[in-house]
Amino acid sequence: MKLFNKKIFTLFLGFFSFFGFSVKAVCPVCVVAVGAGVGLCRWLGIDDVISGLWIGGMLVAVSLLTIFWFQKKNWKFKFYQPAIFLMYYFLTIWPLLSFNIMGHPLNKLWGMDKILLGLVTGTMLFFVSVFLDKYLRRKNNGKVYFYYQKIIIPVALLLIFSFIFYFLINC
């Protein structure tokens, strides 16, 4: 992986890891939906940017669920939230790098590894969807605007950006 990509990735992880976020659970159905999206992308041979997008979304969902589970069990230690994020991202990225799935010199878009680009974008989109859900609930006196809003918003954002990347890559 080029030094430039490493710097971007380090800044990205640092931003999300060291700024405290008030965490409310992302529902398990959403995690399953995002996980199914990752499996489907790889099975269908979809481009690595789109796979990375879903991997990033899944990592945020699983990280938030783990943090919520720790809070529910009252298992808190210093920096546990960033540690959980870093653990999941490390346990995902390290094997991808080790088996040369990520970091291949011919697998780039805009000078950045496709999986890393998708992972960063998917992570940001999932965080945006969590905040969008919270914002919509606040605007509606704590109630959802539509059933399964917490699930539909992140999956819809990931789908929309999957189509955007598909058309950018193939057109």
Q: Are strands 112-113 and 108-109 parallel, antiparallel or unpaired?
A: antiparallel
> Is 54:122 a contact under the CB 8 Å cutoff?
yes
Higher per-residue confidence, 94 vs 73: 73
pLDDT over 90 (residue 140): yes
Give the model's confidence band at 115: pLDDT under 50 very low, under 70 low, under 90 confident, else very high.
confident
Least confident of 21-25, 77-81, 89-93, 111-115: 21-25
101 DSSP 8-state letter: S
